[in-house]
Amino acid sequence: MTLSELSYNIKNLAAGGQGNNDDSTLKIKQIEFWIRAYRAVGVLSTTEYGKKIDSQLVQDLGAVPLVEVDMADPSCPLEPEWGCTIKKFEIPKLIDFPNNRAMTFIGKIDKRTPFVIDSADVTIFKESTVFGKVLNRAYPVGQTIYVRLYGNDRDMEYINFRGVFEDPTVVNSWATIGCDPVCYNKMTDEYPMPLSMYDFVTTSIMQKELNMTIQTKDDEMNNAKDEAGIEQPVKG
């Protein structure tokens, strides 16, 4: 289902089947914001306690360019060492899952070889293990991912990233190799949300957001009465 289909259906429900009314005070931009917000809430509630993340929520950034890290970079959590290269790349904002659960894959562009996802505060312990210095590792810091590359992978130029993003519409325009950034088309592009979550999002918007909005006058009935010469009742 597209974002346009989702938003117009909610507008139609709120307007009592008259969603195309130009006089409606309920705007599509506002509905789209609510859909994004309650999708994020729904994602967290449906995947809590270790439940599996629905594949329809996951988006693929493709082949993302890596940039070599300047050792003066104050945000880099890694110390340079012999035999490895440190690079980084940027990603759109992820859903606020705990423990990096929103990152479903970081690895080679073959999309089959994953990196170890670490936290900077435990890297010294994990890298001291037997295989610690032969496995490529990733360290998220906000929306920047630092990677430590070993062996033949030190010259790696691109990486693949898949995850659950807070705003799915920005993923299409992210810089990837061989693809010109394009705007998300809300009329034709599939919105990454399973139908099983549609009822939760729609009900939440109708009950929590539109309980007051749908009580505001739609103006259509008032306009019709004005044209018919029917005097409006005086409030107060």
In 104-183, which ranges are continuous DSSP H helix? Answer: 123-126
For residue 178, the model assigns a pLDDT of: 56
Helix 195-204 to helix 28-46 angle, to the nearest 10 degrees? 120
- Amino acid 193 reads M
Residues 175 and 164 sit within 8 Å (Cβ to Cβ): no
Beta strands in the chain (DSSP E): 59-65, 67-68, 84-90, 103-107, 116-117, 137-141, 144-150, 158-163
Chain mean pLDDT for the chain: 79
Question: Distance between CA 156 and CA 87 in Å, rounded?
Answer: 9
Residues 105 and 162 sit within 8 Å (Cβ to Cβ): yes
Average pLDDT of the segment spanning 120-140: 64
Residue 185's pLDDT band, with cuts at 50, 70 and 90, is: confident
215 has pLDDT over 60: no
Q: What confidence tens digit (pLDDT) does each residue in 77-118 have?
A: 676 665 678 899 999 999 988 888 899 999 999 999 999 988
Q: What confidence tens digit (pLDDT) does each residue in 20-69 have?
A: 555 567 889 999 999 999 999 999 887 776 678 889 999 999 889 999 88
Question: Distance between CA 55 and CA 104 in Å, rounded?
Answer: 10
Query: How many separate helices (H) and strands (E) can be counted in the chain?
Result: 6, 8
103-107 β-sheet, strand order: 59-65, 158-163, 103-107
Question: Distance between CA 36 and CA 193 in Å, rounded?
Answer: 10
Structural tokens at position 192? 């990454």
231 has pLDDT over 80: no
In 75-219, which ranges are continuous DSSP H helix? Answer: 123-126, 195-204, 210-213
Buried b (16+ CB within 10 A) or exposed e, 43-52: bbebbeeeee
147 has pLDDT over 70: yes
Residues 104 and 96 sit within 8 Å (Cβ to Cβ): no
Question: Distance between CA 84 and CA 88 in Å, rounded?
Answer: 13
Q: What is the 3-state secondary structure (H, E, C) of 187-217?
A: CCCECCCCHHHHHHHHHHHHHHHHHHHCCCC
Residues 198 and 204 sit within 8 Å (Cβ to Cβ): no
pTM for the whole structure: 0.76
Can you give the residue ranges of every domain in the chain? Answer: 1-54+192-214, 59-185
For residue 220, the model assigns a pLDDT of: 46
Q: What confidence tens digit (pLDDT) does each residue in 198-209 have?
A: 999 999 999 898
